[in-house]
Protein backbone atom coordinates (compact mmCIF):
# COMPACT_ATOMS: atom_id res chain seq x y z
CA UNK A 1 0.00 0.00 0.00
CA UNK A 2 1.24 3.49 -0.68
CA UNK A 3 1.79 6.09 1.97
CA UNK A 4 -1.27 7.89 0.71
CA UNK A 5 -3.60 5.20 1.96
CA UNK A 6 -1.90 5.35 5.32
CA UNK A 7 -2.86 8.93 5.78
CA UNK A 8 -6.32 8.53 4.34
CA UNK A 9 -8.09 7.34 7.48
CA UNK A 10 -6.72 10.28 9.41
CA UNK A 11 -8.32 12.61 6.89
CA UNK A 12 -11.69 11.21 7.86
CA UNK A 13 -11.28 12.87 11.23
CA UNK A 14 -11.66 16.52 10.54
CA UNK A 15 -13.80 16.95 13.57
CA UNK A 16 -16.74 19.23 14.07
CA UNK A 17 -16.97 19.51 17.84
CA UNK A 18 -14.55 21.63 19.81
CA UNK A 19 -11.09 20.26 19.27
CA UNK A 20 -10.50 19.90 22.98
CA UNK A 21 -12.92 17.03 23.37
CA UNK A 22 -11.27 13.95 21.94
CA UNK A 23 -13.72 11.37 23.10
CA UNK A 24 -17.35 11.74 23.96
CA UNK A 25 -20.09 9.37 24.97
CA UNK A 26 -23.60 10.67 24.48
CA UNK A 27 -26.27 8.74 26.29
CA UNK A 28 -24.57 5.44 25.59
CA UNK A 29 -26.30 2.21 26.60
CA UNK A 30 -25.45 -1.38 25.97
CA UNK A 31 -27.65 -4.35 26.69
CA UNK A 32 -26.92 -8.03 26.43
CA UNK A 33 -29.35 -10.89 26.07
CA UNK A 34 -28.54 -13.51 28.64
CA UNK A 35 -30.02 -16.99 28.56
CA UNK A 36 -29.90 -18.97 31.76
CA UNK A 37 -30.67 -22.34 30.28
CA UNK A 38 -31.58 -23.96 27.02
CA UNK A 39 -35.30 -23.41 27.33
CA UNK A 40 -35.61 -20.53 29.71
CA UNK A 41 -36.42 -17.16 28.33
CA UNK A 42 -33.56 -14.81 27.56
CA UNK A 43 -33.24 -11.84 29.86
CA UNK A 44 -31.92 -8.40 29.11
CA UNK A 45 -28.86 -7.34 31.00
CA UNK A 46 -28.34 -3.62 30.97
CA UNK A 47 -24.59 -3.46 31.28
CA UNK A 48 -24.24 0.24 30.59
CA UNK A 49 -27.12 2.70 30.77
CA UNK A 50 -27.28 6.26 29.52
CA UNK A 51 -23.67 7.12 30.13
CA UNK A 52 -22.51 10.53 28.96
CA UNK A 53 -18.86 11.42 29.32
CA UNK A 54 -16.52 13.92 27.76
CA UNK A 55 -12.80 13.33 27.63
CA UNK A 56 -10.61 16.32 26.80
CA UNK A 57 -7.20 16.09 25.24
CA UNK A 58 -4.46 15.28 27.70
CA UNK A 59 -6.93 14.45 30.44
CA UNK A 60 -7.01 11.32 32.58
CA UNK A 61 -10.53 10.13 33.19
CA UNK A 62 -10.80 7.35 35.73
CA UNK A 63 -13.80 5.05 35.75
CA UNK A 64 -14.29 3.40 39.12
CA UNK A 65 -16.81 0.96 40.52
CA UNK A 66 -17.25 -2.58 41.77
CA UNK A 67 -16.97 -5.67 39.59
CA UNK A 68 -19.97 -5.99 37.35
CA UNK A 69 -20.76 -2.28 37.25
CA UNK A 70 -20.12 -2.02 33.51
CA UNK A 71 -16.64 -0.49 33.50
CA UNK A 72 -15.19 -2.99 31.08
CA UNK A 73 -18.22 -2.93 28.78
CA UNK A 74 -17.79 0.83 28.55
CA UNK A 75 -14.10 0.37 27.75
CA UNK A 76 -14.90 -2.10 25.01
CA UNK A 77 -17.32 0.34 23.44
CA UNK A 78 -14.72 3.10 23.54
CA UNK A 79 -12.34 0.78 21.74
CA UNK A 80 -14.94 -0.02 19.11
CA UNK A 81 -14.98 -3.68 20.12
CA UNK A 82 -18.65 -3.48 21.03
CA UNK A 83 -21.32 -1.36 19.44
CA UNK A 84 -23.54 0.67 21.75
CA UNK A 85 -27.16 -0.48 21.76
CA UNK A 86 -28.23 3.14 21.81
CA UNK A 87 -26.52 6.50 22.00
CA UNK A 88 -23.30 7.23 20.25
CA UNK A 89 -19.62 7.64 20.88
CA UNK A 90 -17.68 10.41 19.16
CA UNK A 91 -13.97 10.38 18.55
CA UNK A 92 -12.83 13.89 17.82
CA UNK A 93 -16.36 14.77 16.88
CA UNK A 94 -16.86 11.86 14.52
CA UNK A 95 -19.47 9.29 15.47
CA UNK A 96 -17.91 5.89 16.00
CA UNK A 97 -20.58 4.28 13.85
CA UNK A 98 -19.29 6.12 10.78
CA UNK A 99 -15.74 4.91 11.01
CA UNK A 100 -14.22 1.48 10.69
CA UNK A 101 -12.59 -0.35 13.53
CA UNK A 102 -9.22 0.21 11.86
CA UNK A 103 -9.70 3.92 12.03
CA UNK A 104 -10.68 3.70 15.66
CA UNK A 105 -7.63 1.57 16.36
CA UNK A 106 -5.39 4.34 15.13
CA UNK A 107 -6.80 6.71 17.68
CA UNK A 108 -7.67 4.53 20.63
CA UNK A 109 -5.59 1.64 21.90
CA UNK A 110 -6.07 -0.67 24.87
CA UNK A 111 -3.82 -1.77 27.72
CA UNK A 112 -5.31 -4.76 29.46
CA UNK A 113 -5.16 -5.96 33.02
CA UNK A 114 -3.25 -9.16 32.84
CA UNK A 115 0.04 -8.97 30.96
CA UNK A 116 0.31 -12.74 31.25
CA UNK A 117 -2.68 -13.47 29.09
CA UNK A 118 -2.71 -10.43 26.82
CA UNK A 119 0.58 -11.21 25.07
CA UNK A 120 0.99 -14.08 22.63
CA UNK A 121 3.49 -16.45 24.29
CA UNK A 122 4.78 -17.77 20.96
CA UNK A 123 5.80 -14.43 19.47
CA UNK A 124 8.87 -12.38 20.15
CA UNK A 125 8.54 -8.86 21.47
CA UNK A 126 9.42 -7.53 18.07
CA UNK A 127 6.55 -9.27 16.36
CA UNK A 128 4.13 -8.50 19.20
CA UNK A 129 4.90 -4.81 19.12
CA UNK A 130 5.10 -4.48 15.35
CA UNK A 131 1.91 -6.42 14.64
CA UNK A 132 -0.31 -3.33 14.68
CA UNK A 133 2.02 -1.70 12.14
CA UNK A 134 1.76 -4.75 9.91
CA UNK A 135 -2.00 -4.86 10.20
CA UNK A 136 -2.22 -1.22 9.24
CA UNK A 137 0.42 -1.67 6.58
CA UNK A 138 2.69 1.03 7.87
CA UNK A 139 6.28 1.17 6.70
CA UNK A 140 8.54 -1.67 5.62
CA UNK A 141 10.32 -4.28 7.70
CA UNK A 142 13.26 -2.09 8.48
CA UNK A 143 11.36 1.00 9.50
CA UNK A 144 9.08 -1.13 11.62
CA UNK A 145 12.01 -2.57 13.47
CA UNK A 146 13.34 0.89 14.02
CA UNK A 147 10.00 1.99 15.36
CA UNK A 148 9.90 -0.99 17.73
CA UNK A 149 13.33 -0.05 19.04
CA UNK A 150 12.21 3.52 19.57
CA UNK A 151 9.14 2.44 21.41
CA UNK A 152 11.08 -0.01 23.61
CA UNK A 153 13.32 2.85 24.66
CA UNK A 154 10.25 4.93 25.37
CA UNK A 155 8.82 2.35 27.76
CA UNK A 156 12.26 1.90 29.30
CA UNK A 157 12.88 -1.66 28.19
CA UNK A 158 16.40 -2.64 27.14
CA UNK A 159 16.89 -3.11 23.41
CA UNK A 160 18.37 -6.56 23.88
CA UNK A 161 14.92 -7.90 24.79
CA UNK A 162 13.65 -7.36 21.27
CA UNK A 163 13.96 -11.02 20.35
CA UNK A 164 12.79 -12.45 23.67
CA UNK A 165 9.47 -14.06 24.39
CA UNK A 166 6.95 -12.88 26.98
CA UNK A 167 7.70 -15.89 29.19
CA UNK A 168 11.21 -14.54 29.70
CA UNK A 169 9.93 -11.29 31.17
CA UNK A 170 8.68 -10.28 34.57
CA UNK A 171 5.15 -8.99 35.10
CA UNK A 172 6.22 -5.37 35.04
CA UNK A 173 8.23 -5.85 31.88
CA UNK A 174 5.28 -7.55 30.23
CA UNK A 175 3.03 -4.65 31.08
CA UNK A 176 5.63 -2.36 29.51
CA UNK A 177 5.41 -4.47 26.36
CA UNK A 178 1.63 -4.15 26.40
CA UNK A 179 2.01 -0.38 26.68
CA UNK A 180 4.59 -0.39 23.88
CA UNK A 181 2.22 -2.31 21.64
CA UNK A 182 -0.51 0.18 22.34
CA UNK A 183 1.76 3.14 21.64
CA UNK A 184 3.30 1.89 18.44
CA UNK A 185 0.34 3.22 16.47
CA UNK A 186 0.83 6.68 17.99
CA UNK A 187 -2.70 6.78 19.32
CA UNK A 188 -4.13 9.77 21.10
CA UNK A 189 -6.11 7.84 23.62
CA UNK A 190 -5.16 4.87 25.74
CA UNK A 191 -7.91 2.87 27.37
CA UNK A 192 -6.25 1.19 30.35
CA UNK A 193 -8.36 -1.52 31.93
CA UNK A 194 -6.91 -2.16 35.40
CA UNK A 195 -3.35 -1.90 34.08
CA UNK A 196 -1.63 -2.39 37.41
CA UNK A 197 -3.90 -4.61 39.44
CA UNK A 198 -1.99 -7.78 38.58
CA UNK A 199 1.30 -6.23 39.65
CA UNK A 200 3.18 -5.84 42.92
CA UNK A 201 3.23 -2.41 44.54
CA UNK A 202 6.83 -1.62 43.65
CA UNK A 203 6.21 -2.63 40.04
CA UNK A 204 2.93 -0.76 40.03
CA UNK A 205 4.79 2.40 41.02
CA UNK A 206 7.12 1.96 38.03
CA UNK A 207 4.25 1.52 35.61
CA UNK A 208 2.30 4.47 37.00
CA UNK A 209 5.38 6.68 36.73
CA UNK A 210 5.87 5.49 33.17
CA UNK A 211 2.26 6.21 32.24
CA UNK A 212 2.63 9.68 33.66
CA UNK A 213 5.87 10.38 31.78
CA UNK A 214 4.37 9.14 28.53
CA UNK A 215 1.38 11.33 29.02
CA UNK A 216 3.56 14.42 29.44
CA UNK A 217 5.81 13.44 26.57
CA UNK A 218 3.18 12.45 24.01
CA UNK A 219 0.23 14.45 25.27
CA UNK A 220 -1.77 11.28 25.65
CA UNK A 221 -5.29 11.02 26.93
CA UNK A 222 -6.13 8.17 29.27
CA UNK A 223 -9.36 6.48 30.10
CA UNK A 224 -8.28 4.66 33.20
CA UNK A 225 -10.42 1.88 34.56
CA UNK A 226 -9.59 0.83 38.06
CA UNK A 227 -10.95 -0.25 41.38
CA UNK A 228 -7.81 0.91 43.17
CA UNK A 229 -8.74 4.31 44.51
CA UNK A 230 -5.17 5.17 45.53
CA UNK A 231 -4.08 4.81 41.93
CA UNK A 232 -7.07 6.78 40.72
CA UNK A 233 -6.39 9.60 43.12
CA UNK A 234 -2.77 9.67 42.07
CA UNK A 235 -3.35 9.74 38.35
CA UNK A 236 -6.78 11.02 37.44
CA UNK A 237 -8.06 14.49 36.61
CA UNK A 238 -11.67 13.47 36.38
CA UNK A 239 -13.42 10.63 38.13
CA UNK A 240 -16.51 8.80 36.92
CA UNK A 241 -18.15 6.51 39.46
CA UNK A 242 -20.30 3.77 38.01
CA UNK A 243 -22.90 1.68 39.75
CA UNK A 244 -24.86 -1.04 38.03
CA UNK A 245 -24.28 0.41 34.59
CA UNK A 246 -25.09 3.99 35.47
CA UNK A 247 -22.80 6.90 35.94
CA UNK A 248 -23.79 8.07 39.39
CA UNK A 249 -21.15 10.68 40.10
CA UNK A 250 -18.86 12.37 37.66
CA UNK A 251 -16.62 15.35 38.17
CA UNK A 252 -13.15 16.69 38.96
CA UNK A 253 -11.03 14.38 41.09
CA UNK A 254 -10.29 16.91 43.83
CA UNK A 255 -13.97 17.57 44.46
CA UNK A 256 -14.94 13.92 44.42
CA UNK A 257 -12.15 12.80 46.73
CA UNK A 258 -12.46 15.72 49.10
CA UNK A 259 -16.19 16.03 49.16
CA UNK A 260 -17.97 12.99 47.75
CA UNK A 261 -21.67 13.64 47.34
CA UNK A 262 -23.31 10.41 46.31
CA UNK A 263 -23.70 7.95 49.22
CA UNK A 264 -22.16 5.23 47.10
CA UNK A 265 -19.07 7.28 46.36
CA UNK A 266 -18.81 8.01 50.07
CA UNK A 267 -19.01 4.32 50.91
CA UNK A 268 -16.48 3.49 48.23
CA UNK A 269 -14.02 6.04 49.55
CA UNK A 270 -14.62 4.92 53.14
CA UNK A 271 -13.93 1.31 52.36
CA UNK A 272 -10.64 2.12 50.76
CA UNK A 273 -7.86 1.19 53.15
CA UNK A 274 -5.11 3.77 53.33
CA UNK A 275 -1.92 2.55 54.95
CA UNK A 276 -2.58 4.40 58.17
CA UNK A 277 -1.92 2.30 61.27
CA UNK A 278 -3.78 4.73 63.51
CA UNK A 279 -7.05 3.82 61.86
CA UNK A 280 -9.13 0.72 62.16
CA UNK A 281 -10.91 -1.23 59.46
CA UNK A 282 -13.86 1.00 58.57
CA UNK A 283 -17.39 -0.06 59.34
CA UNK A 284 -19.11 0.07 56.01
CA UNK A 285 -22.75 0.92 56.07
CA UNK A 286 -23.31 -0.76 52.73
CA UNK A 287 -25.73 -3.64 52.77
CA UNK A 288 -24.01 -6.79 51.79
CA UNK A 289 -25.21 -7.82 48.41
CA UNK A 290 -24.27 -6.31 45.12
CA UNK A 291 -27.62 -6.57 43.34
CA UNK A 292 -28.23 -8.98 40.52
CA UNK A 293 -27.77 -6.94 37.35
CA UNK A 294 -30.35 -9.13 35.61
CA UNK A 295 -32.94 -8.04 38.11
CA UNK A 296 -31.90 -4.57 39.25
CA UNK A 297 -33.74 -2.83 42.09
CA UNK A 298 -36.48 -0.41 41.14
CA UNK A 299 -35.98 3.32 41.35
CA UNK A 300 -32.43 4.18 42.27
CA UNK A 301 -30.44 0.97 41.81
CA UNK A 302 -28.39 1.78 44.88
CA UNK A 303 -31.29 2.20 47.31
CA UNK A 304 -31.12 -1.26 48.96
CA UNK A 305 -27.56 -0.55 50.13
CA UNK A 306 -27.86 3.17 50.72
CA UNK A 307 -27.40 4.66 54.18
CA UNK A 308 -29.53 7.72 53.41
CA UNK A 309 -32.38 5.96 51.66
CA UNK A 310 -35.69 7.83 51.38
CA UNK A 311 -39.17 6.74 50.38
CA UNK A 312 -38.92 7.92 46.84
CA UNK A 313 -35.61 6.14 46.19
CA UNK A 314 -37.27 2.79 45.63
CA UNK A 315 -39.91 4.30 43.35
CA UNK A 316 -38.37 6.96 41.16
CA UNK A 317 -35.10 6.72 39.35
CA UNK A 318 -33.10 9.88 40.00
CA UNK A 319 -32.35 12.11 37.04
CA UNK A 320 -28.92 13.47 36.49
CA UNK A 321 -28.33 16.80 38.18
CA UNK A 322 -25.35 19.04 38.44
CA UNK A 323 -24.14 20.30 41.82
CA UNK A 324 -20.98 22.43 42.00
CA UNK A 325 -19.73 21.08 38.69
CA UNK A 326 -20.32 17.47 39.66
CA UNK A 327 -22.85 15.42 37.76
CA UNK A 328 -24.90 13.27 40.07
CA UNK A 329 -27.72 10.78 40.05
CA UNK A 330 -29.17 10.93 43.52
CA UNK A 331 -32.41 12.08 45.13
CA UNK A 332 -30.46 13.82 47.89
CA UNK A 333 -29.53 16.36 45.28
CA UNK A 334 -32.80 17.15 43.48
CA UNK A 335 -32.95 19.10 40.28
CA UNK A 336 -33.14 22.84 40.97
CA UNK A 337 -36.40 23.21 39.08
CA UNK A 338 -38.07 20.48 41.11
CA UNK A 339 -36.67 21.77 44.37
CA UNK A 340 -37.97 25.22 43.58
CA UNK A 341 -41.34 23.83 42.62
CA UNK A 342 -41.49 22.02 45.95
CA UNK A 343 -40.83 25.26 47.77
Exposed/middle/buried for residue 53 (C-beta within 10 Å: 0-12, 13-18, 19+): buried
Q: Is 229 left (phi over 0), alpha (psi -120 to 50) or beta?
A: alpha
Write down the least CB distance from residue 257 to other proteins, Å.
Answer: 8
Q: What does DSSP assign to residue 168?
A: G
Restricted to residues 285-324, the positions that interact with other proteins (CB under 8 A) are 286, 288-290
Q: Which is nearer to other proteins, 206 or 317 (CB)?
A: 206
Helix, strand and coil percent figures for the chain, each rounded to 5 = 35, 25, 40
Going edge to edge, which strands form the sheet with 21-35?
Answer: 42-56, 21-35, 86-91, 94-95
Could you tell me the CA-to-CA distances from 195 to 54, 182, 227, 268, 299 in Å, in that order? 22, 12, 11, 20, 34
Could you tell me the CA-to-CA distances from 61 to 137, 246, 340 in Å, in that order? 31, 16, 33
Restricted to residues 183-202, the positions that interact with other proteins (CB under 8 A) are 200-202
Task: Tell me: does residue 281 bind other proteins (CB under 8 A).
Answer: yes
Q: Which is nearer to other proteins, 91 or 229 (CB)?
A: 229
212-231 mask for other proteins (x: CB under 8 A)?
x--------------xxxxx
Task: Tell me: does residue 257 bind other proteins (CB under 8 A).
Answer: yes
Task: Tell me: does residue 2 bind other proteins (CB under 8 A).
Answer: no
Write down the least CB distance from residue 140 to other proteins, Å.
Answer: 35
- Site for other proteins (CB under 8 A): which residue of 209, 219, 259, 308? 209
46-75 mask for other proteins (x: CB under 8 A)?
--------------------xx--------
> How many residues are present in the chain?
343
Contact residues: other proteins, CB under 8 A = 66-67, 170-172, 200-206, 208-209, 212, 227-231, 233-235, 253-254, 257, 267-268, 270-284, 286, 288-290
Amino acid sequence: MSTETIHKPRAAFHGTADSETVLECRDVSRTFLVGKGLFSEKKTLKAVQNVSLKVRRGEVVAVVGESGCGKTTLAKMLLGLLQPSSGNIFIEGNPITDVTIRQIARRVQPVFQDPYSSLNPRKTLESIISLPLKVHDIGDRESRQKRVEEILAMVELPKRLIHSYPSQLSGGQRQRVAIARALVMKPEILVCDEPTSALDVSVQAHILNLLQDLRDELNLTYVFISHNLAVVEHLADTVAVMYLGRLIEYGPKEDIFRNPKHPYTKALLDSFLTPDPTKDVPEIALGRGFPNPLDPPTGCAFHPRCASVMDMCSKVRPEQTEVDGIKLECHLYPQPSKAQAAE
